Structures are given as structure tokens and as C-alpha cells.
Amino acid sequence: MGLSRQPVGASTVLLLLLVSGGSFVYVAPPTNVVVSCQNLNTRVSWDYRSPQPRTVFRVTITGSSGSHEENTTEHTWYDLSPFVWRSATHYQDFLYVTVEAVQGAHQSEAIKSQSFSFNNLKTVHKTCVLDFPRAQLDVGELTSVTFENPLKLYPQLNDASELQITAIAAGQEFTGLCLEQHPICKVDVTFVEGQTKCVRLRGVLFNRRGLCQVSFRDEDGICSHEEVKEVDEKVAAIIVGSLFVLVIIVLIVIIWWVKAWSMQTSNLPVILVSKPHQRLYHPQEKVKISPVFLCSSSKSPAIKPSMSGVCSEYHSWGAQLEDQHQQLEDQHQQLEDQHQQLEDQHQQLEDQHQQLEAEGLMSKGTEEDSTDDSTRTDSVSVSSQDEEQQPVSPYDRSHFVEVDMGVGDMVTGYTGE
């Protein structure tokens, strides 16, 4: 009996295994499960590359203190904020998330995220931090950093009792304490003259029991209004300068484009178009050409009727020139005749003068006249010698002279020499 029952029991177990194996369906698990936190917003997301119809995801949030919540979603993300900020125990606890893909009655392996917490005293993979409210640096007799109290701004922090603040200015740290009853948090700082008036802010929240610390993200670039104004002026100057350069570039492009568009294109073949900008050819000046007419004194059949008027004017102008030339010749002949008459008169006067000297008429007169004559003769002889020593051009010599005829009578004569 024992031998007969043993094979029957083995067959039953094998049959059950075959039946259960035939009904098994594999469901791919999600990947890359990541928790992110930005201020009060906390969420988990994942990847799923092979979605099937009616696929949902089961999200389970678990805390080290025993807190637990499970929900399903059709999305590849889930908002954890309602659970995290539901109580002080949650955001101060050690938390992690698991995600499963569910297809009908089948489900995938549960994928676990990294651990996270807002309590920086917990050893977790990711420590979430809060953001400071908007802060400002007031410069006066006392320089201070002020901002709204986060304990009043964030009601979710109902278990926190005080905020420890650290302001860092020019390498120095200034600390302050802000309690839950203070509407505004304030920290006094000091600056050395000439230093940039900007600070960096840090903060840590403590609960009433001192067992939790929630950190704030460091806030940089908190500057006075004067510093902000200087920065704004520099930025404005950079923007205006960039716009000015851009306008100049646009104007240059427009001028170049208009000039290129207005230039006339040449109808010559490309091989015949010169390139003056390469200075391969010397530019040729434009030559002015005036019409020239050939006229003959005799009538010639080669002269066209249209040129007869021009030739007649030419002949008329030539005749006028000939008449003027003839008049000049006549005037020249008259001057020659007058010159000859003057020569004859001069010769006659010379002959008369010689006759008078021969008759002795020149010796008459007073002694004063003789003395004057001798002096005049000497001066004339000296002048003659000077003239002989210094020859004078006929053009420079005077042709009209005065001749003494005796007894004080002076006669003007002409000499051709």
C-alpha cells in the first residue's frame, strides 16, 4: 500500500505544477524610479517602455516609523506631497517608495526608490531642502537682511519652533534667530567701506524637541538697491551697445544691397568685361571729338550740299583776314614813308649846321654863352664818350633830339640811328 501511494502523490504534485506554470504571465517592472523634491513639492517618477492595455502602477510609500500608504495611478509619476506634509512625523521620517506594474490579476516585481527625508539628521540617499522667502538687504545706519518668517509662510511646518539664520558677507558670518511669533526674520550685517554690499543666506529649522532639523537652500546674490542699480545699468549699457552695433551692421548691409541693386549690368560678353578693381587695364579717358570740314576755293562735287553753308562762312572769314592783312601792309608803308621824310629833314639840318659853322656864326655871343657852350660841349663830349663806352640798343636810344641853331633857337630833330 505504501509503494502504490507514493507514485500517485508525486504525479499529483507534478500535475499541479504544470497547471500553475501554464497560467503564469510575465509583467515587466518599471525602471528608473526617482524621487524629486523642490521646496514643498515632492514626487516620484519612473520609466515604463512596454505599456500594455489596462496597465496601472501601484505606488507604496513606507516610513521607518511604520507609516504606510498605497495608491494606484495610470501615469508614470505620483505626487507624494500630501502624504509627506500630512504630519510632522512624515516629513521628519526616513521614507522610500516602491512601484509595481499591474496588468489585470498579474503584477510585476516591486522596484524600490532611494530613501529620502526633509530631516537632515536622518541618514538617507536624498535630503530635501526648503527655499527661503524673498529676502532683501536694507542699507542704513544698520545694514540688515530681512525676509518673511517661513514658520508663518509654510503652515505645514507646524512642529517647528525656531529658525537659525546665517548671513555671509565678505567672508564673515553673521547669525540670527527667528521665532515662530516673529512676522519678519532679520539678521544684522556690517560691511567695510568699498566692499560689495551682497550677502549669502543659510538657514536651519528646529522642532520643539530638537530632534529634527530642516535645512534651507543657500540663497545667493542678495544685494542692496544701489548694487542692483549698478548691475542694471551695466546690463542696460551692454544691451544698448549691442543694439547700436546691430543697427550699424544692418545699415551697412542695406547700403551695400541698394548700391549693388542700382548698378547697371553690362551687356558685353563676360570675356570682354574689364575688372577695374583688379587694375588689369588702364582706364581710358573719354576723348572729345570736334567735327572738321574741308573746304576748297573751287567748287567741287565732293562737297555735300549740307556743308556748303559752312564753307561759305569759311570763305567769308578768310576774305576778312586778307582785308585786315592788306590794311596792316598799307599802314606799315605809310610809316616807312614818314620815316624817310624825317631822315631827309635831318640831313638838311645837318647841312645847314655845317654851313653856319663855316661862316663863323657859331662864335658869336657873350662870354657866358661861350662858357656855357664850352661846358655844354664838354658834357656832350663826355656823354659821347660814355655812349661810346656803353653801347645802347637802337630800341633803347631816343630818336628825337634837340639841336641848337644858334642865338638860343632850339629845333627838334629825328635821328634814325
CB-based contacts of 104, cutoff 8 Å, min separation 6: 54
Residue after which a domain boundary falls, among 98, 127, 156: 127
Q: Are 214 and 204 in contact (CB under 8 A)?
A: yes
Is 149 a domain residue?
A: yes
Q: Which domain holds residue 70?
A: 31-127
Q: Give residue-wise pLDDT tens across range 245-264.
A: 888 998 888 888 877 767 65
CB-based contacts of 293, cutoff 8 Å, min separation 6: 307, 310, 311, 314
pLDDT at 162 over 80: yes
Please indicate, yes or no, whether residues 71 and 155 belong to a single structural domain of this protein: no
Dmax (CA) of the chain: 218
**Amino acid 295: pLDDT:** 58
Phi, psi of 80 (to 5 degrees): -95, -5
Please indicate, yes or no, whether residues 100 and 147 belong to a single structural domain of this protein: no
Query: What number is the average pLDDT over the span 59-69?
Result: 92
Q: What SS3 state is found at 80?
A: coil
Q: Which residue has the higher pLDDT, 43 or 357?
A: 43
Please indicate, yes or no, whether residues 94 and 140 belong to a single structural domain of this protein: no
Residues 191, 32: Cα–Cα separation, whole Å: 48
**Amino acid 124: pLDDT:** 95
Is 301 a domain residue?
A: no
Is 249 a domain residue?
A: no
Please indicate, yes or no, whether residues 115 and 36 belong to a single structural domain of this protein: yes
Is 291 a domain residue?
A: no
Is 83 a domain residue?
A: yes
Q: Are 189 and 95 in contact (CB under 8 A)?
A: no
pLDDT at 18 over 50: no
Residues 21, 14: Cα–Cα separation, whole Å: 11
Please indicate, yes or no, whether residues 42 and 120 belong to a single structural domain of this protein: yes
Query: What number is the average pLDDT over the span 284-288?
Result: 64
Rounded to whole angstroms, what are the CA distances from 391 to 315, 381, 383, 396? 50, 15, 12, 10
Residues 82, 59: Cα–Cα separation, whole Å: 14
Is 158 a domain residue?
A: yes
Query: What number is the average pLDDT over the span 155-177?
Result: 88
Above pLDDT 70, what percent of the chain?
A: 64
**Amino acid 80: pLDDT:** 96
Measured in whole angstroms, the distance separating CA 399 from the mean position of its chain's CA atoms is: 86
Residue 76's pLDDT band (cuts 50, 70, 90) = very high
**Amino acid 100: pLDDT:** 96
Please indicate, yes or no, whether residues 77 and 143 belong to a single structural domain of this protein: no
The winner for highest mean pLDDT among 76-85, 290-299, 335-344 is 76-85
CB-based contacts of 102, cutoff 8 Å, min separation 6: 27, 55, 56, 57, 58, 72, 108
Range in 97-111, 270-284, 354-368 the model is least confident about: 270-284
The structure's pTM equals 0.50
**Amino acid 25: pLDDT:** 82
Q: Which residue has the higher pLDDT, 374 or 50?
A: 50
Is 330 a domain residue?
A: no
Q: Which residue has the higher pLDDT, 178 or 402?
A: 178
pLDDT at 237 over 50: yes
Question: Grid coordinates 541618514 are at which residue?
Answer: 123
Residue 45's pLDDT band (cuts 50, 70, 90) = very high
Please indicate, yes or no, whether residues 45 and 81 belong to a single structural domain of this protein: yes
Q: Are 217 and 201 in contact (CB under 8 A)?
A: no
Please indicate, yes or no, whether residues 222 and 156 belong to a single structural domain of this protein: yes
**Amino acid 351: pLDDT:** 84
**Amino acid 96: pLDDT:** 97
Averaged confidence pLDDT in the chain: 76
Residue after which a domain boundary falls, among 213, 229, 245: 229
211, amino acid identity: L
Residue 20's pLDDT band (cuts 50, 70, 90) = very low
pLDDT at 308 over 70: no
**Amino acid 291: pLDDT:** 61
- Cell readout for 117 is 527625508
Q: Give residue-wise pLDDT tens across range 273-283.
A: 566 555 555 55
**Amino acid 377: pLDDT:** 45
Query: What number is the average pLDDT over the span 87-115?
Result: 93
Strands 116-117 and 126-127: parallel
Is 346 a domain residue?
A: yes
Please indicate, yes or no, whether residues 88 and 140 belong to a single structural domain of this protein: no
Q: Which residue has the higher pLDDT, 359 or 356?
A: 356
Residues 360, 367: Cα–Cα separation, whole Å: 16
Above pLDDT 90, what percent of the chain?
A: 32
Range in 66-80, 236-250, 346-360 the model is least confident about: 346-360
Q: Are 343 and 327 in contact (CB under 8 A)?
A: no
pLDDT at 7 over 50: no
**Amino acid 254: pLDDT:** 86
Please indicate, yes or no, whether residues 190 and 113 belong to a single structural domain of this protein: no
Please indicate, yes or no, whether residues 121 and 139 belong to a single structural domain of this protein: no
What is the number of domains present in the chain?
Answer: 3
pLDDT at 362 over 60: no
CB-based contacts of 400, cutoff 8 Å, min separation 6: 412, 413, 414, 415
Spatial CA neighbour of 203 closest among 265, 160, 256: 160
Q: Are 345 and 399 in contact (CB under 8 A)?
A: no
Element (H, E) at 183: none
Please indicate, yes or no, whether residues 160 and 111 belong to a single structural domain of this protein: no
Say which CATH number the domain at 58 has. 2.60.40.10
Say which CATH number the domain at 153 has. 2.60.40
Residue after which a domain boundary falls, among 101, 127, 153: 127
